[in-house]
């Protein structure tokens, strides 16, 4: 449930007009705003702008329009060519979804983008934000477009204390109050331009802001405190011991099982990665003989930090053959093939006692 106090409708209406007037004068000249509102161009720009700045996306936008000026021409494009032209823009799943979507528009909609948010949402790669943005900007529907920039403006206007992402319900309710049916396509762009140039993350220019009179965060003198972010939870630590067993022909690596962390990749044999450090007496090395305690290193995964000790041993040919016989999933890897290992295991080679 949202817990914001809505503002008086007449007051919102007056400030909304003030922002649209400001947008008419100060709105940015962005390439995808030139000419008529073509849903293909607007969609292309929205996909490219995900996790990418406008300055970085603009040359790609021009290039794609030159190569594939319509959704039908993009749908007919060669996959490898599209991926190659996308190179450098990052997040390559976006390029694959771009092609899937273009083909769905041609196959299922006769080459025309559907006009409603609900229909757009069913297209590949369309999430709530993209569907709302295309519905509003291309088709003039008063859709509730909320991206990170509009979130910032809304959390400040209403001084929303709920940290994001949990506070997004309140942000949506706040943004809903401001929708402008008469200029539905301009409204989200006006908010985004305000967010980019005035309601900036740091040092917002409140004295230049046409919404200042209705801004709760400004009234409190703490605009920059919003949006409130959830405190970062500390990443847990796990401990392991990796066994670096070398022979004359290389080092022992294991083929990891297909699922889970680093599934299907090569790795060094190692103990379980657990929450408490290993005592030497608890470690069961995979072969007899003296292992050198080479040292330890850290590796940060998304969900935990690993502290891994390295135990090293040089084995004779017969010992290596015995290990390979005992472990079907182990192999001897040539010394210059360390790059076949993920970084978390490659680091073991650099550990110095």
* Cβ atoms within 10 Å, residue 25: 6
Choice from 167, 204, 240, 286 touching ligand SF4 (CB under 6 A): 204
Choice from 131, 153, 320, 341 touching ligand SF4 (CB under 6 A): 153
The answer to whether residue 179 forms part of the interface with ligand SF4 (CB under 6 A) is no
Question: Residues in the chain, how many?
Answer: 353
Cβ atoms of 279 and 302 within 8 Å: the answer is no
The answer to whether residue 209 forms part of the interface with ligand SF4 (CB under 6 A) is yes
Contacts of 309 (CB under 8 A, 6+ apart): 239, 240, 241, 242, 278, 293, 294, 295, 296
Cβ atoms of 307 and 280 within 8 Å: the answer is no
CB 41, min distance to ligand SF4, A = 29
The answer to whether residue 57 forms part of the interface with ligand SF4 (CB under 6 A) is no
Within positions 77 to 136, which residues make up the interface with ligand SF4, using CB under 6 A? none
The answer to whether residue 191 forms part of the interface with ligand SF4 (CB under 6 A) is no
Q: Select the span of 57-65, 196-204, 298-306, 319-327 touching ligand SF4 (CB under 6 A).
A: 196-204
**Comparison of 12 and 215: residue with beta carbon closer to ligand SF4:** 215
Per-position DSSP letters for 46-58, written without gaps between them: HHHHTTS-HHHHH
Choice from 223, 253, 320, 344 touching ligand SF4 (CB under 6 A): 223
Closest by CA to 63, choosing from 39, 90, 45, 78, is 45
Choice from 16, 41, 141, 156 touching ligand SF4 (CB under 6 A): 156
The answer to whether residue 217 forms part of the interface with ligand SF4 (CB under 6 A) is yes
The answer to whether residue 64 forms part of the interface with ligand SF4 (CB under 6 A) is no
Distance from C-alpha of 200 to C-alpha of 22, rounded to nearest angstrom: 16
Contacts of 158 (CB under 8 A, 6+ apart): 4, 5, 170, 174, 216
Residue recorded with tokens 């009179």: 213
Active-site amino acid positions: 46
Choice from 102, 180, 215, 244 touching ligand SF4 (CB under 6 A): 215
Q: Select the span of 5-13, 104-112, 153-161, 172-180 touching ligand SF4 (CB under 6 A).
A: 153-161
The answer to whether residue 141 forms part of the interface with ligand SF4 (CB under 6 A) is no
Cβ atoms of 282 and 248 within 8 Å: the answer is no
Residues that bind ligand SF4 (CB under 6 A): 153, 156-157, 198-199, 204, 206, 209, 211-212, 215, 217-218, 223
């Amino acid at each position: 449930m949202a817990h914001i106090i809505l503002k008086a409708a007449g007051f919102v209406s007056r400030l909304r007009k003030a922002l649209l007037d400001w947008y008419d004068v100060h709105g940015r000249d962005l390439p995808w705003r030139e000419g008529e509102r073509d849903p293909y161009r607007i969609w292309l720009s929205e996909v490219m702008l995900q996790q990418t700045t406008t300055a970085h996306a603009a040359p790609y936008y021009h290039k794609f329009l030159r190569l594939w000026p319509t959704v039908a021409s993009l749908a007919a494009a060669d996959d490898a060519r599209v991926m190659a032209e996308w190179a450098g823009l990052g997040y390559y799943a976006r390029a694959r979804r771009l092609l899937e979507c273009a083909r769905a528009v041609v196959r299922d909609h006769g080459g025309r983008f559907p006009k409603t948010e609900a229909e757009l949402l069913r297209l590949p790669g369309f999430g709530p934000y993209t569907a709302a943005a295309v519905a509003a900007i291309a088709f003039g529907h008063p859709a509730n477009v909320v991206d990170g920039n509009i979130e910032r403006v809304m959390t400040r206007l209403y001084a929303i204390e709920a940290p994001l992402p949990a506070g997004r319900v309140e942000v949506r309710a706040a943004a809903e109050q401001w929708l402008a049916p008469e200029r539905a396509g301009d409204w989200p762009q006006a908010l985004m331009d305000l967010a980019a140039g005035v309601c900036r993350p740091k040092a917002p220019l409140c004295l230049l802001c046409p919404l200042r009179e209705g801004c709760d965060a400004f009234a409190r003198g703490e605009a920059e405190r919003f949006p409130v972010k959830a405190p970062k939870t500390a990443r847990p630590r796990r401990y392991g011991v990796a066994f670096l067993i070398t022979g004359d022909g290389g080092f022992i690596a294991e083929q990891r099982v297909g699922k889970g962390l680093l599934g299907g990749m090569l790795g060094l044999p190692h103990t379980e990665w657990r929450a408490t450090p290993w005592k030497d007496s608890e470690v069961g090395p995979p072969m007899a003989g003296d292992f050198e305690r080479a040292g330890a290193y850290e590796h940060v995964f998304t969900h935990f930090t690993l502290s891994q000790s390295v135990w090293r041993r040089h084995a004779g040919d017969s010992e290596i053959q015995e290990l390979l016989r005992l472990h079907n999933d182990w192999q001897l890897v040539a010394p210059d093939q360390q790059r076949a290992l993920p970084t978390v295991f490659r680091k073991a080679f650099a550990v110095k006692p």
